[in-house]
Amino acid sequence: MWAYVSTLSVHKDGATPEECEDAAGVVPVIESDEPTDGAVSVAVSDGASESLLAGPWARLLVESTVEAVRAKPEVLHSDSGFARVVLDAVDDWDEWLAAYIAGREAEDRPIKWYEQPGLDRGAYATLLAFHLTDVGLWHAAALGDSCLFQVRSDRLLRAFPVETAVALGTSPALLNSRNRNEGLIASKAGLANGDYEEGDQFFLGTDAIAHWFLSEVEQDDCPWEVLRDLSAIGSQEAFAKWVADERASGRMKNDDVTLVHVDLG
Amino acid sequence: MAYSAEISRVNPTCFVFLVDQSASMNDPIGGDSPQRKADVVADAINRLLTELSVKCAKEEGVRDYFHVAVIGYGSSVGSAYAGSLAGRDLVPLSEVADNPARVEERVKKVPDGAGGLVETTTRFPVWMDPVANAGTPMCRALQYAESIVAKWLVDHPGCFPPIVLNLTDGESTDGDPDAPAAGIRAHASADGAALLFNLHVSAGGGEPVTFPDADGGLPDAYSRTLFNMSSVLPTDMRSYAATQGFSVSDATRGFVYNADIASIVQFLDIGTRATDLR
């Protein structure tokens, strides 16, 4: 099965691109206009704006997760497997954080008093992991409100882990960079799987675009059409303009937006 | 829907803290606590500024989602900031965070993980010191806050409505504060009317009360006056308060009697909240 994979992202209005706290990772690494033949692993994460170092934690989570899923796709078959992937990222984070603090000291910018409580609490982010096998099946695991949508024959076949727009609030479940409670993480993780056919579309997105997507579906619209077109264009600028228009109309909240489109058409 | 404007660096809002510094604030708070009321409100302000700074802290510094004034009223009405911020009214939060008058080391007891408590030192930034002398010109203080709010709204007409938080023992000596309180609440941004909340510290005793929806259980006339001056909590703040275990209804007001009010900062939505799995 051939798949085209594209990633589009735009930061929150009023922030800088460097302040974007969404992250997405795909393996294998391919250009959006080049098809890949074989398994595809994707991870999407949304750092919580009220936590410190949420962006770096989200990036580390997706990098660690896509590599873990690529090496062993079965980790997405059980909540305990997913939890162990997270714990590996937590281990990596300790090392990253020690280097970060040392770097701040070296730059003569030691940690300020108002940062310390946030560092003590840890960074927070959602995580959605997805694996497309080369034998017609897909698996996903999630914690939080980053969402996966499967579209077939011009209708929404599956929404995971959130199924309604109203369920997307400002207090999603989040992975903390200091949380080593494997049982707790496993108990809060959601799992999903299914099959796929030629022509299917998968969309993975963070909460702002997920909310927009589900709202459109609830109004009997077909949000995948415009997303498929934007994905085909493959231009970050065109995507940013479309997001700006949706924000201005009030249809999309002002937040970092990340979309990964896996096109089996 | 009102009270739904985004609080951001491009659309910040303002916080005006009013601090009673009258002679009656020298009295102890009552109950089992020997603390003076002036110490209680100074601690409350310093904790509120700490909570705001930590809430808005990112790795590059504190973001200016709020501009903050601390206004004292006693022998005069004006800025109560100490240190390098002295004399200023509204200050961007990043400047507040970077300029406490001093940072004290305070001892506090924390769980030791084995069912007991252990003493540890914590850094406690201080922006204002306790003061207690002269009368209680609460009406003049409310009018001062109103002028700050009015000026802010000219420059920020679309902001989340300004919040005025008055910390007092309730004994106004320059008249009935009800009308100037209404004057604050009469100002509005496109997102709703300015909010007035009150913390009443008292030697009057009775149980502490947090975010009540009626004045029936309050101990005295001062409490009831302050309760009735206080704005009803907006829907989103009320919903979040409920998730934090507070008992709320449609009539719940931003009023606290002899209890911690720092939690009010956490009711404000500046983005995805960092909450632990439970």
* HEC secondary structure over chain B: CCCCCCCCCCCCEEEEEEEECCHHHHCEEECCEEEEHHHHHHHHHHHHHHHHHHHCEECCEECCCEEEEEEEECCCEEECCCHHHCCCCCEEHHHHHHCCCEEEEEEEEEECCCCCEEEEEEEEEECCCCCCCCCCCHHHHHHHHHHHHHHHHHHCCCCCCCEEEEEECCCCCCCCCHHHHHHHHCCEECCEECEEEEEECCCCCCCCEECCCCCCCCCCHHHHHHHHHCCECCHHHHHHHHHCCCCCCCCCECEEECCCCHHHHHHCCCCCCCCCCC
Which comes out higher in pLDDT, residue B4 or B206? B4
Across the interface, whether the CB atoms of A124 and B275 are under 8 A apart is answered yes
Q: What is the ipTM of this complex?
A: 0.88
Q: What percent of chain B has pLDDT over 90?
A: 71
- Find chain B residues with C-beta within 8 A of A15's C-beta: 9
Looking up residue B200, the CATH number of its domain turns out to be 3.40.50.410
Q: For A217-260, how does the pLDDT look when each residue is reduced to its tens digit (9 = 90+)? A: 999 999 999 999 999 998 999 999 999 999 999 999 999 999 99
In a domain? residue B112: no
Looking up residue A95, the CATH number of its domain turns out to be 3.60.40.10
- Please, which pLDDT band fits residue B197 given cuts at 50, 70 and 90? very high
The domain total for chain A is: 1
Q: Report the candidate in A114, A151, A148 with the shortest Cα–Cα distance to residue A43.
A: A148
Query: Do you find a cis peptide bond into B161, omega within 30 degrees of 0?
Result: no
In a domain? residue B8: no
Q: Which residue of A has its CA nearest to B102?
A: A113
Confirm or reject contact between B62 and chain A (CB < 8 A): yes
Alpha carbons A259 and A138: distance in angstroms, whole number: 18
CA–centroid distance for B39 within its chain: 15
For residue B186, CA distances in Å to B153, B180, B183, B192 come to 12, 10, 5, 10
Helix-, strand-, coil-residue percentages of chain A, each rounded to 5: 40, 25, 35
- Rounded average pLDDT over A184-208: 97
**Residue-level pLDDT at A28:** 92
- Structural domain span for residue A117: 2-31+38-263
**Residue-level pLDDT at A5:** 95
On the question of pLDDT at B96 being above 80, the answer is yes
Confirm or reject contact between B50 and chain A (CB < 8 A): yes
- Structural domain span for residue B261: 13-100+127-267
DSSP letter, residue A47: B
On the question of pLDDT at B113 being above 80, the answer is no
Across the interface, whether the CB atoms of B59 and A174 are under 8 A apart is answered no
**Residue-level pLDDT at B123:** 84
Amino acid at B103: V
For residue A73, CA distances in Å to A41, A67, A236 come to 8, 10, 30
On the question of pLDDT at B33 being above 70, the answer is no
Phi, psi for A38 (deg, rounded to 5): 135, -170
Tell me if A179 sits within 8 A of A160, measured CB to CB.
no
CA angle A36, A39, A44 (to 5 degrees): 95
On the question of pLDDT at B1 being above 90, the answer is no
On the question of pLDDT at B112 being above 80, the answer is no
Across the interface, whether the CB atoms of B274 and A124 are under 8 A apart is answered yes
The pair of structure tokens assigned to A209 is: 């675009």
Amino acid at B245: G
Local structure of A245: helix, strand or coil: helix
For residue A84, CA distances in Å to A28, A29, A68 come to 22, 24, 10
Local structure of A220: helix, strand or coil: coil
Across the interface, whether the CB atoms of B273 and A181 are under 8 A apart is answered no
CA distance B101 to chain A (A): 14
Query: Do you find a cis peptide bond into A28, omega within 30 degrees of 0?
Result: yes
H/E stretch holding A238 reads: helix A236-248
- Find chain A residues with C-beta within 8 A of B54's C-beta: 114, 117-118
Alpha carbons B228 and B226: distance in angstroms, whole number: 5
Enumerate the β-bridge partners of residue B70. B17
Which residues, other chains included, contact A208 with Cβ-Cβ below 8 Å and sequence gap of 6+?
A252, A253, A254, A255, A256, A257
Q: Which residue of B has its CA nearest to A119?
A: B59
- Rounded average pLDDT over B122-148: 95
Amino acid at B124: F
A125-158: string of b/e by CB count within 10 Å (b at 16+)? Answer: bbbbbbbbbeeeebbbbbbbbbbbbbbbeeebeb
The pair of structure tokens assigned to B95 is: 């400047």
Which comes out higher in pLDDT, residue A125 or B208? A125
**Which member of A53, A172, A179 has the closest CB to residue B59?**
A53
Tally the residues of chain A: 265
Q: For A14-28, how does the pLDDT look when each residue is reduced to its tens digit (9 = 90+)? A: 999 999 999 999 999
In whole numbers, what is the pLDDT of chain B averaged over residues? 92
DSSP letter, residue A261: E
Q: For B55-90, how does the pLDDT look when each residue is reduced to its tens digit (9 = 90+)? A: 999 998 999 999 999 999 999 999 999 999 999 999
Tell me if A179 sits within 8 A of A186, measured CB to CB.
no
Which residues, other chains included, contact B194 with Cβ-Cβ below 8 Å and sequence gap of 6+?
B149, B153, B161, B162, B163, B164, B184, B185, B186, B187, B188
In whole numbers, what is the pLDDT of chain A averaged over residues? 95
**Residue-level pLDDT at B267:** 83
Across the interface, whether the CB atoms of A118 and B54 are under 8 A apart is answered yes
Inter-residue long-range contacts of A237-245, CB under 8 Å, 24+ positions, other chains counted: A239/A8, A239/A9, A239/A10, A240/A10, A243/A10, A243/A209, A244/A13
Across the interface, whether the CB atoms of A113 and B125 are under 8 A apart is answered yes
Confirm or reject contact between B273 and chain A (CB < 8 A): yes
**Which member of B50, B243, B277 has the closest CB to residue A188?**
B277
Across the interface, whether the CB atoms of B271 and A170 are under 8 A apart is answered yes
**Cβ of A200: how many Cβ atoms within 10 Å?**
22
Across the interface, whether the CB atoms of A179 and B276 are under 8 A apart is answered yes
Amino acid at A218: E
Strand-strand pairing, B57-58 and B61-62 = antiparallel
- Please, which pLDDT band fits residue B32 given cuts at 50, 70 and 90? low
Tell me if A65 sits within 8 A of A179, measured CB to CB.
no
The domain total for chain B is: 1
Confirm or reject contact between B125 and chain A (CB < 8 A): yes
Alpha carbons A79 and A149: distance in angstroms, whole number: 20
In a domain? residue B54: yes
**Residue-level pLDDT at B28:** 86
**Which member of A46, A171, A207 has the closest CB to residue B273?**
A171
Across the interface, whether the CB atoms of B274 and A114 are under 8 A apart is answered no
- Please, which pLDDT band fits residue B128 given cuts at 50, 70 and 90? very high
Angle of the B138-155 helix axis to the B178-185 helix axis, nearest 10: 10
Query: What does the radius of gyration of chain B's CA atoms come to, in whole angstroms?
Result: 18
Q: For A122-165, how does the pLDDT look when each residue is reduced to its tens digit (9 = 90+)? A: 999 999 999 999 999 999 999 999 999 999 999 999 999 999 99
Question: Which of A45, A50, A252, A254 to mutate: most B Cβ within 10 Å?
Answer: A50
In a domain? residue B237: yes
**Which member of B50, B59, B274 has the closest CB to residue A48?**
B274
- Find chain A residues with C-beta within 8 A of B243's C-beta: 171
Across the interface, whether the CB atoms of B277 and A176 are under 8 A apart is answered yes
CA–centroid distance for B154 within its chain: 23
What part of B 204-243 touches A (C-beta under 8 Å)?
243
